[in-house]
Amino acid sequence: MNLKLLVGALVKFLAGVVLVGLLVFLPAGTFAFFNGRLFMGILFVPMFIAGIVMMFKNPKLLQSRLDAKEKQRDQSLVVKLSGLMFLAGFVVAGLNFRFGWFQLPKTVSIVAAVVFLAAYALYAEVLRENTYLSRTIEVQENQKVIDTGLYGIVRHPMYSVTLLLFLSMPLVLGSVYSFVIFLAYPLIIAKRIKGEEAFLEKELEGYSEYKQKVKYRLIPFVW
């Protein structure tokens, strides 16, 4: 086992738990925020399990997922806008609970949690299909175009899955106002996809042919 990788992964995981917890519960003014506890559970328990699996099955993939420093200026802006969206969305969800703004029924939050977990399962499948995935736009050594499984349906199944994940988050938290903020994500990810495809066409052999074979980027029959 790579001890350095293990420590690095645990540090980032715990930092994420603390950061998201502060963003959700501090504005809420209490830990008695059921939707917040539900959200923390469905977000971090699967994340911890996935990290353990990758640690033993594919430590190289885990390392690439931990490397979140984007090198391209345009894509760095996309990452920053996404971070701002999360910051505002989580804080607003906490404030929504604290001040008793319009709160979605608990049933909606439970259904959204189920959708979130189903999307997380799809996320794991995408990682299984494409071991070259990283959190930054790059072409790795010996990387090949993947055109089977979910990659035979849309060209960016990872982003399709994150669309489900991120749009279900504010619903789990029970906040319509937070959901409105998260509606910025499709626009943000569309910009990232266009930049990524331009890069891959230049740097990854066979990608132009793949674009001709799989017509849709994110949502089948839509875009």
Q: What is the pLDDT of residues 87-118, one digit of tens each?
A: 999 999 999 999 999 889 999 999 999 999 99
**Sorting pLDDT into bands at 50, 70 and 90, what band is 69?**
low
pLDDT of residue 145: 84
pLDDT at residue 200 greater than cutoff 90: no
Where are the domains positioned within the chain?
3-213
Q: Which residue has the higher pLDDT, 77 or 125?
A: 125
SS (H, E, C) the chain: CCHHHHHHHHHHHHHHHHHHHHHHHHHHCCCCCHHHHHHHHHHHHHHHHHHHHHHHHCHHHHHHHHCCCCCCHHHHHHHHHHHHHHHHHHHHHHHHHHCCCCECCHHHHHHHHHHHHHHHHHHHHHHHHCCCCCCCCCCCCCCCCCCCHHHHCCCCHHHHHHHHHHHHHHHHCCEHHHHHHHCCHHHHHHHHHHHHHHHHHHHCCCHHHHHHHCCCCCCCCCC
pLDDT of residue 160: 93
pLDDT of residue 23: 97
Name which CATH class applies to 3-213. Answer: mainly alpha
pTM of the model: 0.87
